[in-house]
């Protein structure tokens, strides 16, 4: 780990005190993404190959990540818990280039220009793995999810890129190291390193080396996620800006970390007990609370569209009619439904365009 900043020693300390204290004082107060990569990859064996391909799934949080304690390292204020969508996500191939001065990036078979923010984010992530200054790569990344469906491809994208780049460089990393490296690319990507139910432990360390995801062992074969693609999406405020605005401008945010911690404990128990009602109530309440903090920010952050509210009302009416279905929403207008297989027909009757995802084999 490199030393980036040494605490200044006050003038009244004489040199003997300074020498005694020096080992304690010589500790960095801030850490960069490069520090994180160096400490994870620095001692790793390096066995490069020419091509490596990796897959990562999209994940949907049942307890949301909202608010950063360190924006540079994507360290969260609270733990979060998600479920992976097994067949929806990103496949990324990293190919080592010879004699090229720049990386080449293709997204969904289309070349991405160097001026594009996506290209710059990909290159910044590759930089973490580029131990030889001359290393250049071609990235082919394909999402099998329609962007309009509102499923965040940045989580699966950074998880797949992390796996594929570590693979092409021949780093043999465990799930924890992959999760930490994916996290510095995009926070929720640390959960997309794993399948099934996944908990992201926020960690306490300033360098974030304990902030990573881990899978839960439980499966729930009857659990379904309904994806509804809504139209008329408003101009998006990205999650990075949205989180910062919420943390900085609404007093309601102070209640969020405690609710998230309580919700995670309930969700974990609901998963162990396969208690769908408890899972659904907790996930929906958690999402609505997150949106309440966003709406109470200034300027207000309202991701909902009229179509989103219409779906919410239909979900609440279905519940009144005795159909156990709950909803969750992220930083966008789209609504995702949670239900179990026996009510799938009732859901399809009310939402004919719903795409139903089976979450476990």
Question: Where do contacts with ligand PMV occur on this chain (CB under 6 A)?
Answer: 61, 64-65, 80, 152, 154-155, 186-188, 239-240, 330-331
Closest separation in Å from C-beta 239 to ligand PMV:
4
Closest separation in Å from C-beta 80 to ligand PMV:
5
Q: Smaller CB distance to ligand PMV: residue 242 or 280? A: 242
Q: Smaller CB distance to ligand PMV: residue 41 or 331? A: 331
Task: Give yes or no for a cis peptide into 299 (omega within 30° of 0).
Answer: yes
What gap in Å lies between CA 275 and CA 154, rounded to an integer? 31
Closest separation in Å from C-beta 78 to ligand PMV:
9
Q: Smaller CB distance to ligand PMV: residue 263 or 330? A: 330
Q: Smaller CB distance to ligand PMV: residue 137 or 326? A: 326
Q: Smaller CB distance to ligand PMV: residue 143 or 188? A: 188
**Inter-CA distances, 17 with 5, 126, 333, Å:** 20, 44, 59
What gap in Å lies between CA 91 and CA 158, rounded to an integer? 10
Determine the Cα angle at 166 with ends 144 and 160, to 5°.
15
Closest separation in Å from C-beta 334 to ligand PMV:
11
Q: Smaller CB distance to ligand PMV: residue 81 or 318? A: 81
Residues 6+ apart with CB under 8 A from 155: 56, 58, 59, 186, 188, 189, 191, 192
Q: What tokens does 37 get?
A: 């990569």
Closest separation in Å from C-beta 288 to ligand PMV:
13
The per-residue DSSP string of 268-335 comes to: HHHHHHT-HHHHHHHHHHHHHHHHHHHHTSSS------HHHHHHHHHHHHHHHTT---EEEE-SSS-E
Closest separation in Å from C-beta 328 to ligand PMV:
9
Closest separation in Å from C-beta 60 to ligand PMV:
7
What gap in Å lies between CA 91 and CA 119, rounded to an integer? 17
CA within 13 Å, CB half, 171: 23
Q: Smaller CB distance to ligand PMV: residue 82 or 165? A: 82
Burial tier of 143 (Cβ tally within 10 Å: 0-12, 13-18, 19+):
buried
Residues 6+ apart with CB under 8 A from 120: 114
């Amino acid at each position: 780990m490199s030393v980036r900043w040494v605490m200044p020693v006050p003038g009244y300390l004489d040199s003997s005190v300074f020498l005694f204290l020096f080992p304690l004082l010589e500790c960095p107060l801030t850490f960069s993404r490069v520090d994180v990569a160096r400490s994870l990859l620095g001692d790793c064996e390096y066995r490069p190959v020419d091509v490596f391909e990796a897959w990562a799934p999209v994940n949907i949080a049942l307890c949301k990540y909202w608010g950063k304690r360190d924006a540079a390292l994507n360290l969260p204020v609270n733990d979060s818990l998600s479920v992976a969508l097994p067949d929806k996500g990103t496949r990324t191939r990293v190919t080592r280039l010879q004699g090229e001065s720049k990386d080449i990036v293709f997204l969904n078979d289309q070349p991405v220009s160097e001026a594009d923010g996506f290209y710059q984010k990909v290159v910044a992530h590759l930089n973490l793995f580029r131990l030889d200054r001359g290393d250049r790569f071609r990235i082919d990344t394909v999402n099998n999810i329609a962007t309009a469906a509102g499923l965040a491809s940045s989580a699966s994208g950074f998880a797949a890129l992390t796996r594929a780049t570590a693979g092409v460089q021949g780093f043999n990393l465990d799930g924890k190291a992959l999760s930490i490296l994916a996290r510095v690319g995009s926070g929720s990507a640390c959960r997309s390193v794993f399948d099934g139910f996944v908990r992201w432990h926020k960690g306490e360390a300033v360098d974030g080396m304990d902030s990573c995801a881990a899978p839960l062992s439980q499966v729930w074969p009857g659990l379904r996620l309904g994806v509804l693609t809504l139209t008329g999406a408003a101009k998006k405020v990205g999650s990075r800006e949205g989180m910062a605005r919420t943390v900085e401008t609404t007093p309601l945010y102070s209640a969020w970390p405690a609710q998230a911690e309580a919700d995670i404990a309930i969700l974990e128990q609901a998963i162990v007990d396969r208690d769908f009602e408890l899972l659904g109530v907790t996930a929906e309440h958690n999402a609505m609370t997150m949106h309440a903090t966003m709406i109470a920010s200034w300027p207000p952050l309202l991701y909902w569209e009229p179509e989103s509210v219409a779906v919410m009302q239909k979900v609440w009416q279905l519940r009144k009619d005795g159909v156990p279905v709950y909803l969750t929403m992220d930083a966008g207008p789209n609504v995702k439904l949670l239900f179990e297989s026996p009510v799938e027909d009732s859901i399809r009757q009310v939402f004919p365009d719903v795409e139903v995802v089976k979450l476990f084999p």
